[in-house]
Amino acid sequence: MTNPEARRPGVGDPMPDIAMEATDGGSILPSDLKGKPAVIWFYPKDNTPGCTVEAKDFSALAPDFAKAGVALLGVSKDSPQKHRNFIDKQGLSVPLATDAAEGGLSDALGIWTEKQLYGKKFMGMVRTTYLLDAEGRIARLWDKVKVKGHAEEVLEAARSL
Q: How is 100-124 classified by DSSP, letter by letter?
A: -STT-HHHHHT-EEEEEETTEEEEE
CA-to-CA distance for 60 and 65, rounded, in angstroms?
A: 10
Q: Is residue 41 part of a domain?
A: yes
Is 136 one of the annotated active-site residues of the chain?
Answer: no
Q: Is residue 128 part of a domain?
A: yes
pLDDT at position 10, please? Answer: 95
Active-site hit among 39, 40, 51, 131:
51
Cβ neighbours for 9, distance < 8 A, ≥ 6 positions apart: 15, 16, 108, 109, 138
Q: Is residue 76 part of a domain?
A: yes
CA-to-CA distance for 50 and 12, rounded, in angstroms?
A: 29
Q: Is residue 4 part of a domain?
A: no
Instruction: Indicate the number of domains in the chain.
Output: 1
User: Residues 103-137: pLDDT tens digits?
Assistant: 999 999 999 999 998 999 999 999 999 999 999 99
Q: How many CA atoms does the CB half-sphere of 124 hold within 13 Å?
A: 12
Q: Which residue range is the domain that position 57 belongs to?
A: 33-159
Q: Is residue 7 part of a domain?
A: no
pLDDT at position 145, please? Answer: 97
pLDDT at position 6, please? Answer: 60
Q: How many CA atoms does the CB half-sphere of 57 hold within 13 Å?
A: 17
The parts of the chain modelled with pLDDT lower than 50 are 1-5
pLDDT at position 1, please? Answer: 46
pLDDT at position 7, please? Answer: 76
- Pick from 126, 131, 158: which is nearest to 50 by CA? 126
CATH number at residue 52: 3.40.30.10
Q: Is residue 18 part of a domain?
A: no
User: In this structure, what is the dihedral angle of CA atoms 40, 157, 144, 77, given to the nearest 10 degrees?
Assistant: -10
Question: Strand, coil or helix: what is 16?
Answer: coil
